[in-house]
Homo-oligomer: A and B are copies of this chain.
Amino acid sequence: MTRRIRFGLIGTGRIGQVHFRTLTASPDTELTWIADAFPDAARELAESVGAKVSADPFRLIGSGEVDAVVIASPTSTHLELIEEAIDRGVAVLCEKPIDLDIDRVDGLRDKAAASQVPVALGFNRRMDPAFSEVRSRVEAGEIGTLEGISIVSRDPAPPPEAYLGVSGGIFRDMTIHDLDMARFFVDDIVEVSASGSCLFDENARRLGDFDSAVVTLVSRAGVLISITNSRHSATGHDQRLEAFGSAGTLNVLNASTSLVTASTASSVESRATYQEFFLERYSEAYRLEIEEFVKLLRGEPSRCATYEDGRAALLLANAAQLSAESGRRIAVDLGRG
């Protein structure tokens, strides 16, 4: 039997706790270290599974007791933690985005590419059973030539102001998931257009951010990709995708919360709404993400997003921001040349 991979977890916030549950439940993984700037919070988690705990993530990386780290700490800490892990030969699964500054991301790009240490990015939606089923069926030619992708992605409610202030704006914080999803289907995007509005979120308005956006991407072959975003959605987390091809269309619909339908004198309705938030909608994707990361570490084929994918998504997000501000369509070059 294959040895369990020893993991360190950096950050025990909302997403960190999701990874905690997966890492302690999977037969492939063993959680040996937890680091969090607030170690008291982390201590209870650590004790329940016999892991060591520290306020210092560098101590975790340098412990010699972790084969891999999951980085779920604030975005501003990601780059130096990734670099440290590469230097120490510790594999990395880092939550998106790598960083909000493309220059800093580019600064580590060559080292990440040259290193033998696996570095994966947490674009978990690639792992979602529905999205990955659609991609497999597109690749199998089921809908002929792919001609368009439409993504609707709406959060249930805007984030708090404190989060918004360090988020990098809607394109780098929220749309970036959809930009990566677009690249999951069509990786050679060459043009970006975007329009944004601030319609309902006073915090976004104060920060000069948008709460609503539409982004159009065009691939080298002319595939047209449309992304529709909103920071709120009355019915819950609205996550849909349509792949349109010459021979048909594949749709991912929202996951409903109930199997019950009511028919009355005035309507046929379901009290069901969409699954409330990403932790619920994508719980299986988070679980599969660790599974795919383990495959990567074992040298097996893996669907994990790479450092290069993380850079490309940020570059597209930057182009969307520039387009929304300037009113120009932005040409992008994602390739290494």
Contact = CB atoms under 8 A, between A and B. Distances in A.
Interface of A: 129-130, 133-134, 137, 142-145, 147-148, 150, 152, 154, 191, 193, 195, 197-200, 212-214, 216, 218, 221-224, 226, 228, 230, 232-235, 238, 244-256, 258-274, 327-329
A148 B228 contact: yes
A23 B197 CA distance: 46
Contacts of A142: 262
Given A147-B212, A228-B148, A267-B272, A222 B247 contact: no
Given A130-B260, A150-B152, A268-B272, 15 more contacts: A147-B197, A148-B230, A191-B327, A193-B216, A197-B222, A199-B221, A213-B224, A226-B228, A234-B247, A234-B248, A234-B249, A247-B265, A250-B263, A263-B274, A267-B272
Contacts of A228: 148, 150, 224, 226
Given A191-B195, A200-B246, A255-B259, A226 B224 contact: no
Given A137-B262, A259-B255, A327-B329, A268 B235 contact: yes
A191 B197 CA distance: 12
8 contacts: A143-B262, A143-B264, A147-B230, A195-B224, A235-B248, A252-B260, A266-B273, A268-B272
A133 B260 contact: yes
Nearest first, the 3 A-B pairs at minimum CB distance are A269-B269, A197-B222, A248-B264
Contacts of A199: 145, 147, 221-223, 246
B268 A256 contact: yes
Q: What is the total number of copies of this protein in its complex?
A: 4
A77 to B, nearest CB: 33
Contacts of A272: 267-268
